Every structure is written in C-alpha cells, then in structure tokens.
Amino acid sequence: MTELSIQGLYKRYGAVEVLTDINLNVRSGEFTVFVGPSGCGKSTLLRMVCGLDEVSAGTLAIDGEIVNDVPPSKRGIAMVFQTYALYPHMTVAENMGYALKLAGEDKGLIAERVRRAAEILKIESYLDRKPRQLSGGQRQRVAIGRAIVREPKIFLFDEPLSNLDAALRVDMRMEFARLKERLGTTMIYVTHDQVEAMTLADKIVVMSEGRIEQVGSPLDLYRAPENRFVAGFIGSPKMNFMPVTGQGDGRLQVPGGTIDIPAEIDASRVVEVGIRPEHMQIGLADENTLRGNVMTAEHLGSDTFAYVEIEGLERPVMVRLDGEHTIQTGDPVDVGFATRSVHLFDSDGLALRRQKVSNAA
Amino acid sequence: MSSDATSLPDGTEFRPSPHARRGGLKAGDARFGVMLLLPALLAFGLIVLSPFIQALAMSFYKYTISTPEPVFVGLKNYGKLLSDPTVRASFVTTAIYVFFTTSFSITLGLAWAIILNEPFKGRTAIRGLSLIPWIMPATVSAFIYGWIFNSRYGLLNAIGKELGLIEYPVAWLADPTGAMVAVVMTKVWLSIPLFMSFFLAGLQSMDREQIEAARVDGAGNWHVLKDHIFPHLRPVFLVVVVLGMIGNLQQFDSIYAMTGGGPVRATSVLSVEVYRRAFEQWDIGMAATVGVLWVATILPPAYFYLRQLMKGAE
C-alpha cells in the first residue's frame, strides 16, 4: 500500500524554484532516505510533507488523502528535528506527552503511552528531568520518544544525527535500524551523509539542485547509478572519473591507458568513465591497465588508500587496497580493473547501460 | 623559580613558564581595579550619595520660608506626614499610576514585539520608527499629549466629535480620571519602545524549530503563546516588570509638564509631591521627608532587580 504519494510537486520562493517536478511514492513500512548535498532541497521536501512549508504546485497525499492544505498536526505524521526542538521548560515526560495533552487525551492514557515509548528508547530513568540536564544522545532519544508517543503513520527525521559526535552517531544509527524493525512504521529520513543513507534505507532518494536524480535500493544505486551525480555521490571513497580522449577497436582511450567496452555500447557516445576505488588494484594487470605514479598513500590499518597520479588527469586516481598492502610514494605502478566494473557516461552525464546489469562485486 | 621545578626519573627538568599566572590578584591588580572604579565612585558620591544624605538629614529639620535657619525636630516630620491624608493620597495615586503604566506598557510592548517578530514587508522600517517615542524627550511627548487632550483644539475631542461619541468638547485634563488616563497614556506611549525591544530580543533568541515542533504536536496560536513563548520570556518579564516599576515610580517630567500634578492633587504622584512641597510651598524639610519615603518605596524592587542581575552575571 502506498503511504505517501507525491505528484508533480514544486516549491517556489518568489522567482526561485527550490523543488522541481518531484514525483515519489513511498510504500507502507518503508524506510526512505532523502539524501543529497546541502541546498539540494531535501529538507524543504521533508518540511512540505510535514506541512511546515506550503506546496507551490502539485499534490501530496498521505494514506490516500490529499493533504496539501491540512495542518501538520492533522496529517498523521511526527517529526524529529535536527536541533531536537525539545521544550526546555517541560520535563522529558511532559515533552513526550505534549501532543496527547493538546489532543485532550486522558491523563492515564498519556502516562501509559509515554511509559511505553520510554521503555522502547530506554529513557525511563530520566522522565522527570528537564532537557538541559540531558546529554546530546539522551535528548535525541527524547525527541524520538516524543514522535513515537503520537503513534504516527509516518515518522519524519530531519538530519537527526548531525548534532552528535562520531561515536554516538554510529550507536544511534544502529538504534534507528532497531527502531525500524520494532515499530515497522513508514519512516522518511533526511541526511547529507550517504553512509547513513546506505546503512538505513530500504529506498534511497538521491536529490540534487531541487530534483530527484534517482530512486532505488542502496545496492541498486551503488551498482547501477543512472547518472554521473549519483555515481559520484553514492559510495565512499568516491568514484574516480576520467575523460575519454579517443576511441578505436571497441576500446576507449583515457589518460594513462585504454579501456575495453562491451560491444553493445556505442563507443562514440561515451565522454567519461567512472571506476570505484575498491574495484581497482595495483600491480595486477587485469583486463584494463592504466600507468601512473603513486603520489601518496594513506595507511588506515584496515585499508590502504593509494593516490595514483596519471598524466593528463587533474586529480589523482584513488585505489582502495587492503591494509596489508605496503606501497612506496613515487613508485611507478599499473592500476588494473575489470571491464564490468567500469561506468560509462554520455555528454549529458547519463549512464550508458549494458544490456544486463553488471554484477560488479 | 627553580624551587617549583619538577623532574622525571631520567633527569629531564621542567620549570614553570615565566608567563604562568599565580593565583589571586596581585597587589598592583587590586590598586588598578580601584583606580578604574574611582571616577564612577566619585560621580556617585557627588551626584547621588551626598545629596541623598543631605536630604535624609534635612528630613529631621523644620525648614520653611518662615524659618531662617533649619530647626531640628527629630522624627516630627515623619509623624506629621504619616498622619497627613494628602500624603497617603499621594501614595495611592502613585500606586495607581505605577500599576497602570507598568501593566499597559508590558502588555502592549509584548504585543508589539510579537507583531514585529513576524516576517512582513517593511518590518525593519517599522521597527526603527517604533523607537521614536523613546528617543524624544519626555517633556516634548508630554506637550504632544497635552495637545491631544486639549479641551479646545485637541485631537481627542476632534475625533470624538467626528465619530459622534461626544457632543461637546470635554476638558479631559480638568477631570481627575481624565487627567490620570492622560498621564498614564503618555507614559505608556513613552515606555512601549523600550519594553518592545526587551521582548523582541527575547523572542529572537527563541528556537524556531521549537515552535514548529509545537505546531506539529497540534498547538494553536494560544498554546504556542502560553506553553512556549511565555515560559521562554519569563526572565525578560522579571527584568521588565521591575525596571518598569522603578522607572514609573520615578516619573516626573511628563506628569508635571502635562498636569502639574492636578487637577487639585489627582495626578500628584510622589515625585510631583516632593517638587510641590519644596518649590511651591517652600517646605524643604517636609519635601525631604516625602523624598526619603519615596526612596524607601523604590528600594525593594531595586534590590530585587540588582539581585537578579548579580545572579545572572555569575
């Protein structure tokens, strides 16, 4: 069943168009992540779903009802804000029960629902405290608790982890995954961090400059990005891009070497190729090889990132190696990679598809 | 210095940095501090403390136009004043004046701040214009209001007649209630900009997402105001109420310029009473006595305010 349906949605501030022709369906129980660089309109889209920003054109339907002109509190949604937006002069319990209190619910019922939500989030022990007496992670839980208590049809999360330190962020990310299992409610989550998107989402919506670039499961986006933007945005470390300098005999010329391409692809349309750092190797001459010099290497223990300078390329190519790999700066090296892991882009930045989606590991 | 040095077992020595601070103020620091305070202390002593002590002393003397030299009378002035119905009336007048000016200034200042906090075209210009009453000398404002309430060519009468609310021009300032309304209105008009600024600053420090969260939780305008904006502004309220009370207790110029304390004694607040006793009846001793009582009235709110201020500074 479709929980949220967005059709032909636009958002304009005067002459400035912030969102352009957004079309999206979110199924019931799905964890959907809006991801994109800052200023891409992902937060605006979430705020429109919430009802905090008005719809300029198009329709927005929740659970089969058009809600364009329905106030936020009547949409069956709950939102967790980036700053948590807890009410500073109310206790944790009062914060969590506020919506029910406004709805005129019975005190006993409010207490029961607050207690249940607190139990899920393990915050029972500080229900009587004020927000300022809590740590960042605890505040985050209270903010989520306040949303849970309302038993919404859709949870909305606006960059909920961005105010936490790195270690806590990983913990809370797991917490979100657990919450998703436990509640089974539709969730929409906004982030600029593609790792959060990859780890949490059933469905990722990649946005850029007010448009949806691609919608799909995390692995779909990783394996078969539809355009250069998605290819560059999804995956960490980022994909290496190289311009095509010429072609012949079913091979593309790129700085430092040549690349085989499948016969069904029209080589003349390819203007750029992309290869992920983890799909490249050093020293092993695979199907394709590029020549270059090691500019620098980062040894992270688990991985080694080698930056290989190739003549004719502005930026060095990054190669992800296992942590055991030792590599010397300045060494001339061969960078090898398989043809099936090469992404091909035309002059519009659109991916040229092989007939069968590759299973690049 | 070498006595503070520490060393590791291997003999590496560490000595304290010559730039290290030592605990507490040095003798020179304390002297410097006193020197910084000196100009303010001198000014305070000359302009505030010494006249007050003189006035306090004068309140124990009988000193009128008929006594060439002050005559010591002890607490007699106080006894006389406390049994004087006009002084008691003056306290009541002051209380009425302070209550209405403070409460209206705060209510309207807050309302105005909430309006000016909403985004609309020309907001910045209106914010700037709102400060005009504050910038203008109070006496000028008093004259403007004097014209508004004037019985023959006043704006209020003109509007009232135009709207058919009154048939004949009313001599507002000649009526005890009318005069009180007039002086209160003037003072409220003078105070709104200041109070509005306080509240606006408070509103601007409010988290926008908190209001949005409340909206999502189902709060309407009234609940946003009651559950979120008022609690957020509580510390501002405290300061504004106390400052407003102190300011209104001290008010003199706008009242004296408009009504001179009249008609009869209808707007004769303590400040006007002191002036009248001193410079109309030339009863300096009694004027000083009223003044001392007046200061005693201001002290509690002032003390409370300073205590809050100190608490905030810590």
Q: Are residues A257 and A150 in the same domain?
A: no
Residue A360 lies in a domain: no
Q: Are residues A67 and A176 in the same domain?
A: yes
Q: Are residues A277 and A158 in the same domain?
A: no
pLDDT exceeds cutoff 90 at A98: yes
Chain A CB contacts of B223 below 8 Å? 102
Q: Does A13 touch chain B (CB under 8 A)?
A: no
Q: Are residues A191 and A254 in the same domain?
A: no
Residue B41 lies in a domain: no
- Arithmetic mean of pLDDT, A262-274: 85
Q: Are residues A153 and A130 in the same domain?
A: yes
Long-range contacts from A10-15, C-beta under 8 angstroms, 24+ separation = A10/A55, A10/A56, A10/A57, A10/A58, A11/A41, A11/A44, A11/A45, A11/A48, A11/A53, A11/A55, A11/A56, A11/A210, A12/A56, A12/A57
Q: Give the number of A-B residue pairs with CB atoms closer than 8 Å.
A: 59
CATH code (residue B250):
1.10.3720.10
Q: How far is CA B85 from the centre of its chain?
A: 27
pLDDT reported for residue B1 = 43
Interface test with A, best of B211, B217, B234, B237 (most A CBs within 10 A): B217
Give the residue among A182, A201, A181, A183 at the shortest CA–CA distance from A191: A201
pLDDT band at B26 (very low <50, low <70, confident <90, very high): low
Distance between A72 CA and the closest CA of chain B, angstroms? 5
The last residue of a domain, from among A205, A229, A253 = A229
Chain A CB contacts of B234 below 8 Å? 89
pLDDT exceeds cutoff 80 at A276: yes
The last residue of a domain, from among A200, A229, A258 = A229
Residue A333 lies in a domain: yes
Residue A90 lies in a domain: yes
Q: Does A83 touch chain B (CB under 8 A)?
A: yes
pLDDT exceeds cutoff 60 at A196: yes
Cα–Cα dist A68/A74, whole Å: 11
Chain B CB contacts of A51 below 8 Å? 216
For residue B82, which phi and psi values (nearest 5 degrees)? -65, -25
Q: Which structural domain, as residue segments, surrounds residue A244? A: 240-345
pLDDT tens digit sequence for B37-56: 999 999 999 998 998 898 88
Q: Are residues A188 and A276 in the same domain?
A: no
Mean pLDDT of chain A: 88
pLDDT band at A279 (very low <50, low <70, confident <90, very high): very high
- Arithmetic mean of pLDDT, A285-293: 83
pLDDT reported for residue B213 = 93
pLDDT reported for residue B22 = 62
Chain A CA closest to residue B209: A85
Q: How far apart are the first and last CA of chain B?
A: 34
Chain B CB contacts of A71 below 8 Å? 215
Residue A351 lies in a domain: no
Residue A354 lies in a domain: no
Residue B113 lies in a domain: yes
By the 8 A CB rule, do A290 and A306 touch? Answer: no
Q: Are residues A164 and A78 in the same domain?
A: yes
CB–CB contact B212 A83 (8 Å): no
Query: Domain count of chain A?
Result: 2
Query: Domain count of chain B?
Result: 1
Q: Which residues contact B212 (CB under 8 A, 6 or more apart)?
A: A52, A79, A81, A85
Residue A350 lies in a domain: no
Mark which residues 35-54 of A lie under 8 Å from B by CB: 50-52
Residue B61 lies in a domain: no
- % residues pLDDT > 90 (chain A): 50
Q: Are residues A172 and A288 in the same domain?
A: no
Residue A353 lies in a domain: no
Mark which residues 95-114 of A lie under 8 Å from B by CB: 98-99, 102-103
pLDDT tens digit sequence for A17-47: 999 999 999 999 899 999 999 889 999 999 9
Q: Does A61 touch chain B (CB under 8 A)?
A: no
pLDDT tens digit sequence for B163-215: 877 777 777 778 888 888 888 888 898 889 989 999 999 999 888 889 999 99
CB–CB contact A86 B210 (8 Å): yes
Q: Are residues A275 and A256 in the same domain?
A: yes
Q: Which structural domain, as residue segments, surrounds residue B171? A: 74-313
Q: Are residues A179 and A325 in the same domain?
A: no
Q: Are residues A175 and A294 in the same domain?
A: no
Q: Are residues A254 and A341 in the same domain?
A: yes
Q: Are strands A251-254 and A246-248 parallel, antiparallel or unpaired?
A: antiparallel
- % residues pLDDT > 70 (chain B): 95
Q: How far is CA A25 from the centre of its chain?
A: 17
pLDDT band at B2 (very low <50, low <70, confident <90, very high): very low
CATH code (residue A119):
3.40.50.300
CB–CB contact A83 B232 (8 Å): no
pLDDT reported for residue A10 = 93
Q: Does B222 touch chain A (CB under 8 A)?
A: no
Residue B98 lies in a domain: yes
E strand map for B10-128: 13-14, 61-62, 71-72
CATH code (residue A296):
2.40.50.140
Residue A96 lies in a domain: yes
By the 8 A CB rule, do A17 and A11 touch? Answer: yes
pLDDT exceeds cutoff 80 at B20: no
**Full-model pTM:** 0.76
